[in-house]
Amino acid sequence: MDRTTRHAASARPSNAVARDSSVDAVRVGLLVVVFALHAMMVGVSLGPDGPVLENALEGRPWFAAVSWVVQIMPLFFIAGGFSSLHHWRSMRARGASSTDYVRARLERLVRPAIVLVAVVAAALVALSLAGLPAEMVATAGFRIGQPLWFLGVYLATSALVPLMVRAHERARVLTPVALLAGVVAVDVLRFSTGLDGIGFLNLLLVWLLVQQLGFHLADGALDRLAPSALWSIALGALALLAVLTATTPYSADMYENLNPPTVCLVVLGVAQLALFQLARPRIRAWVERADASRPISAVGERAMTVYLWHMPVLVGLAGALLVANAAFGLALPEPMSADWWATRPLWLSAAAAVVVAVTLVFARFERARRRAPELAAGAAPVSAPAPVRRRTVALDAVCGVAGVAVVLVTGFGPVQAAIALVLLTISLCGSARLGALLTRGATVVAGTTATARATATARTQRRSRRNGIAMASHAATTA
């Protein structure tokens, strides 16, 4: 390293956010896997009763084995935990509070969601008014809404990052052990009672636990392990997963273990973590050799936009295929047929091109706009006590999760979309700021009303005095 390079390195701020090219690269790779898998799930054909939109991979006996490879959500949350820990520590080192961190995450995640809900709801209403069958509109809304579970859970886990980092720093082993005990307890209750609804408690517990694995990755705990130890961890986790799925009620399909989440995803996440740690040096070397850091960064900055909009694009293209079939007789091969497989490369290429175009249009909403400091979105008054600020930002996070849950569970109908947009707007702007604006507005209205009343009273008094003077003058003249 020459003198100039050493000086530049020493001049970097010590509290800058740590970046790792292997983590950035794998996050982009995982996003590509999600897109490709969802694109392959799109099945468009004509049945005896008309057009059919279906999941082409659902119910295929071979997909359970494939799911062990393409179920990458655990590694997604591990990478998210890695980045979140470094981001929060960097902000904390600059004097930011936990509420500042949560507000920043809410703004980054909620803004593109608001645009998605508004555009999709308007488009579905327009299709209904145009005469599209209600059942088909509902199916389109359901398919578009399915991936939103990730946004809701990611909002929740991101809002809890400061708390979970504190737990990680104070009890590195006990924290994941306690979370694992909670995950197992939920699974046992679910299977013993037959109430699947209990399993949805693991929507938080499972992904918080997997996020903790990302904290350990970020802290360098795995850097001290030899490759042989990492291979043992990975193979041991996969063996345990095989035993769990073969001898217990857990499904061998890792996507069935996603809804609701089970301990199987945690075990799979441990295997993915160990394998990723083994591959990190090669991934870093590839990024440097291919000079891929810039495109990786470009995609990473738009990752949530890509994730949110890829499914509307796929559903829209599926509808376009049905229109082309009706208008021009375009063939719609049966899913899994030889003709269907032959058309997949063209389908994937066309879908990727449209996703890129749509991302370029909507990615601007993923970044916060510059605003005056006193009007920073969601900023609580400086004089507000810290507990009050924490409560308001907690309410903002709950509103964000609830807004996503509304359309995820009930669909994109006009009423549901309106409710979701109100909740998401509260989350984005901040309940504290909205409350301050409402209070200020009420004060202005009250002041205006009081001024108007005072003016009217003064006018009445002046009118009375003028009348009294006129009457006295008239009396004097008469006398």
pLDDT given for residue 6 in this prediction: 41
Helix H or strand E segment including 52: strand 50-55
Helix then strand then coil, in percent of the chain rounded to 5, is 80, 5, 20
Contact 313, 33 (CB under 8 A): no
Decide if pLDDT at 431 tops 60.
yes
Average pLDDT over residues 154-175: 96
Q: Give the distance from CA 256 to its chain's centroid.
A: 21
Give the model's confidence band at 261: pLDDT under 50 very low, under 70 low, under 90 confident, else very high. very high
pLDDT of residue 466: 60
Residue 370: the pLDDT is 45
> What integer pLDDT is reported at residue 223 of this predicted model?
92
DSSP 96-161: --HHHHHHHHHHHHHHHHHHHHHHHHHHHHHHHHTT--HHHHHHHHHHHHTTHHHHHHHHHHHHTH
Mean per-residue pLDDT over the chain, rounded: 85
Omega before 260 cis (within 30°)? yes
* Mean per-residue pLDDT, 364-382: 51
Tell me: pLDDT of 372 over 90.
no
In this predicted structure, the answer to whether residue 369 has a pLDDT above a threshold of 80 is no
pLDDT surpassing 50 at residue 164: yes
Does residue 379 carry a pLDDT above 50? Answer: no
pLDDT digits (tens, 9 = 90+) for 267-302: 999 999 999 999 999 999 999 988 888 999 999 999
Predicted confidence at residue 277, as pLDDT, reads 97
Whole-number pLDDT of residue 376: 40
In order of 273, 361, 402, the CA distances from 477 in angstroms are 106, 83, 79
Whether the per-residue pLDDT at 13 is higher than 50: the answer is: no
Q: Measured between alpha carbons, how far is 20 from 26 in angstroms, rounded to an integer?
A: 10
Closest by Cα among 239, 184, 175 to 213:
175
Q: What are the structure tokens assigned to 111, written together?
A: 């803004």
CA-derived radius of gyration, the chain: 29
Q: How many helices (H) and strands (E) does the chain have?
A: 18, 2
User: Which whole number is the average pLDDT over 391-396?
Assistant: 90
What is the pLDDT, as a whole number, of residue 385? 62
Report the pLDDT averaged over residues 363-385. Answer: 53
Residues making up the chain, counted from first to last: 479
Residue 390: pLDDT band with limits 50, 70, 90: confident
The pair of structure tokens assigned to 406 is: 């509304």
pLDDT of residue 374: 37
Residue 426 to residue 31: CA distance in whole angstroms: 29
Q: What is the pLDDT of residue 381?
A: 43
Answer for the pair 464, 413: CB distance below 8 angstroms, yes or no.
no
Per-residue pLDDT, averaged over 400-428, amounts to 92
**The pLDDT of residue 442:** 47
* 424 pLDDT above the threshold of 60: yes
Residue pLDDT, tens place only, 182-238: 999 999 999 999 999 999 999 999 999 999 999 999 999 999 999 999 999 999 999
Residue with tokens 């590694």: 75
List pLDDT tens digits, range 294-349: 999 999 999 999 999 999 999 999 989 988 988 888 889 999 999 999 999 999 99
Strand partners, 38: none
17 confidence band (pLDDT: 50, 70, 90) = low
pLDDT digits (tens, 9 = 90+) for 96-119: 999 999 999 999 999 999 999 999
Q: Which residues pair with 44 in a beta bridge?
A: 53
Q: How confident is the model at residue 58, as a pLDDT?
A: 87
pLDDT at 1: 43
**Percent of the chain with pLDDT strictly greater than 70:** 82
Phi and psi for 53 in degrees, rounded to 5? -110, 120
Looking up tokens 């042989």 gives 228
